[in-house]
Amino acid sequence: MNINKNHLATARTVVVALVAGLSLAGCASYKEEFATINSRLDSLDTKVNSAAQSADQANQSAQQANQRLDQIEGRLQRLESQPTTTKRQPRG
């Protein structure tokens, strides 16, 4: 009976060592996967920031174009509302 207890204790030790070894090996592969995922996330973050800057620049350009259009429209309305008192004579 003493031999069975010794075998059982040895078997437990071996099983615990195997489980611990497999767990640690699994953690190492997860670390590599996390590093890959983090690298991809960093790349996406850079692309998103670049796109946001481009969008801001496009928005500023559109606002400037709208302001210019408003100025031109105001001038055009003033010119159209002015009475034409003198008619131009054709040349020649």
pLDDT 10s digits, 9-64? 777 887 777 777 777 766 666 778 888 999 999 999 999 999 999 999 999 999 99
Report the alpha-carbon distance of residue 38 to residue 53 in Å, rounded.
23
Q: What is the pLDDT of residues 58-85, one digit of tens each?
A: 999 999 999 999 999 988 888 888 876 6
Report the alpha-carbon distance of residue 13 to residue 20 in Å, rounded.
10
H helical segments located in the chain: 2-81
Q: Which two tokens stand for residue 65?
A: 């174009």
pTM: 0.49
Cα dist from 50 to 7, 37, 47, 53, 58, whole Å: 64, 20, 5, 5, 12
What band does 3 get if pLDDT is binned at 50, 70 and 90? Answer: low
